């Protein structure tokens, strides 16, 4: 009901405007000089995060070496942090480039990191095309935000 009755999301690119407001409101876990990590507002599983460059681009091969290095390290450390805090049994890590590949945000590339547990797909997802989260999104943010302090030097 928080999604249905909640305030409409701000216009513009979610990654480019993510640092404009309160991090909890925008679900931002933290940012480096070149990348940002935030919870997916419509997650496939609890702890589903998005790792994106701060520069607005959909061109993965066009990233300069410094941006790519920062993103790769941010992705690597995000997987490690989720593993340590949520102790999933596995993870999906992937990126969809282009609308026909399934990208929901076509103009700004981003990686999905989805913690997975045995049996986390139930009949609701399979039969009713609905997702059920065992934890409220903001409770997940509250749990993960301190663990992502390494992103922006927070204690």
| Distance of alpha carbon 106 from the chain centroid | 15
Distance in angstroms (rounded) separating the CA atoms of residues 32 and 52: 10
- Answer yes or no: 136 catalytic: no
| β 90-94/111-116 pair status | antiparallel
CB 148 within 8 Å of CB 60: no
112 phi and psi angles, rounded to 5 deg: -100, 135
Distance in angstroms (rounded) separating the CA atoms of residues 143 and 145: 6
Degrees (nearest 5) of the Cα angle 97, 72, 116?
70
Q: Which of 48, 110, 112, 136 is catalytic?
A: 110
For residue 126, the surrounding DSSP H or E stretch is helix 123-127
By C-alpha distance, which of 14, 21, 9, 43 is closest to 109? 14
Which positions are catalytic? 110
């Amino acid at each position: 009901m928080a999604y249905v009755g909640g305030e409409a999301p701000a216009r513009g690119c979610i990654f480019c405007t993510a640092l404009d407001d309160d991090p909890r409101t925008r679900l931002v876990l933290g940012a480096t000089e070149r990348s940002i990590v935030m919870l997916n507002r419509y997650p496939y599983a609890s702890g589903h995060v998005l790792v994106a460059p701060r520069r607005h681009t959909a061109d993965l091969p066009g990233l300069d070496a410094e941006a790519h290095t920062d993103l790769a390290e941010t992705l690597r450390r995000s997987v490690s942090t989720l593993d340590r805090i949520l102790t999933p049994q596995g993870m999906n890590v992937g990126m969809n480039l282009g609308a026909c590949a399934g990208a929901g945000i076509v103009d700004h590339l981003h990686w999905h990191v989805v913690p997975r547990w045995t049996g986390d797909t139930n009949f609701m997802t399979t039969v009713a095309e609905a997702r059920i989260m065992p934890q409220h999104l903001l409770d997940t943010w509250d749990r993960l935000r301190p663990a992502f302090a390494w992103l922006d030097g927070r204690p």
